[in-house]
Structure 1
């Protein structure tokens, strides 16, 4: 699992049983897509949370900060779980599953304001979602993203685990830096479709060696070119591969828990 700060550590066991870690999250399903949902007492926004690279939808229940939100419905789709199968890694099926869960949540709650939040692998999918499904969310908090999968394949330094995951998704490693299959599921291509109105907070770690800050910087420059009317804030934190969930929620205007 990913490294995290002590305030928001995501242990490997966090993706085990949602009933253990988040008793007020409910496991729901639309078709064959499972997701977690939890609404506060005064919800005015939907917070769409995308799990990290090796996790699944149950990761959302690891964060007590989500259970403290009274003005939001937190919704966490599975979108084919950990990124190691052909249907994961921001495939069209995975992106469609996120869209289905979001639209069902909007229908059931009547809430039209949607915030998107993801870190690491979830930030990667969030950027693909923003580019391939423009107009569905109002704002996005993106932390430690992957911008170019083929580049990340060459960079990943966790003993080959991430490379094996990507081979599980694509059946092979990238043929080169411009591999079409890898590019088709990367923000480096998808962000061409990003459109306003949209508020984005893009966050990187200056000492991150899991997803180097160059990925977030490239995403920043791409968004600025493709969507000059989008409101974009880039923050580079003095940290390694950490997800600071309280800072993420504060950026997006949620009250401090």
Structure 2
């Protein structure tokens, strides 16, 4: 891998099945370790759909950017659909990619950030839950938190959800477990340990804001100390500048007192 101005395509051998999984990689160059952003693609797309939103912001900050694919789009047309959509092997793909690039490039161990929206928000939460202390900050936008509920709520995506999980929800115990393991709402104790920022548009007609609202209530009930939540005036959106500003603030803790009121 070489450092440069553009992203390069790399392939990471899966630690689960040996499959060469594609990813896009950018490093600003130089010998000094830099922060790393891991950007996760949305439900219906692949590793390329976050380049425009994330690469310019990493370039201007001198940060590294990794865009893994984790088994491809969560669509019935994907021949590996059952390995996608938040499966354990898809989560493992993300960690395999992080381990490869951090083993070969100058990246700070204490400054790894995770960012995704929609299906990528779902993956950000699942990935964070798998290793809560691996991330300096995790920013999830308009995430799906309950896959079985979303199957019932959005007919446009219901067929794709069923293809990824094998059947429509409500069947066998094994099938129920498959939906649960891909739903962040079932990893609350782990997510309560994450430095986590969740955002959802009040007028989202793709994934209801209730997905994030319920997650927020459950994490609050568990006393999560580093959980931040926003319902914003918008729809199925991700605000990149907000996410990157929050990441920057995690590296500059003194800023947390800058706007404090005194009376």
Range 92-101 or range 23-32, more displaced: 23-32
Higher relative contact order (CA 8 A, sep 6+): 1
**Contact 2:135–2:195 (8 Å) recurs in 1:** no
Q: Which residue does 1:155 correspond to in 2?
A: 153
Cα deviation, residue 110, structure 1: 4.0
Within the candidate set 203, 210, 216, 1:214 is matched to 210
Q: Which residue does 1:131 correspond to in 2?
A: 129
Cα deviation, residue 39, structure 1: 1.7
TM-score, with normalisation over the residues of structure 1? 0.81
Cα deviation, residue 209, structure 1: 1.3
How has the CA–CA distance of structure 1 residues 207 and 253 changed in structure 2, closer, same or farther, with 3 Å as cutoff?
A: same
Counterparts of 1:96 and 1:227, CA distance in 2: 28
Q: Which residue does 1:235 correspond to in 2?
A: 230
The answer to whether structure 1 residue 174 and structure 2 residue 175 are counterparts is no
**Contact 2:57–2:244 (8 Å) recurs in 1:** no
The answer to whether structure 1 residue 105 and structure 2 residue 105 are counterparts is no
**Contact 1:53–1:121 (8 Å) recurs in 2:** yes
Q: Which residue does 2:8 correspond to in 1?
A: 26
Cα deviation, residue 226, structure 1: 4.3
Ranges in structure 2 where 5+ consecutive residues have no aligned partner: 14-19, 76-80, 252-263
Cα deviation, residue 103, structure 1: 1.6
Counterparts of 2:27 and 2:165, CA distance in 1: 36
Cα deviation, residue 227, structure 1: 5.7
TM-score, with normalisation over the residues of structure 2? 0.79
Counterparts of 1:36 and 1:226, CA distance in 2: 37
Aligned-residue CA RMSD (Å): 2.3
Cα deviation, residue 182, structure 1: 0.9
Q: C-alpha offsets along residues 157-215 of structure 1, whole Å, 9 cap, x if unaligned?
A: xxx34111111112211117x9332112100112332353x422110101111111111
Aligned length: 228
Q: C-alpha offsets along residues 66-123 of structure 1, whole Å, 9 cap, x if unaligned?
A: 4533331010111001113100011111010001111222222242120110001100
Larger Rg: 2
Counterparts of 2:188 and 2:239, CA distance in 1: 24
How has the CA–CA distance of structure 1 residues 56 and 226 changed in structure 2, closer, same or farther, with 3 Å as cutoff?
A: farther
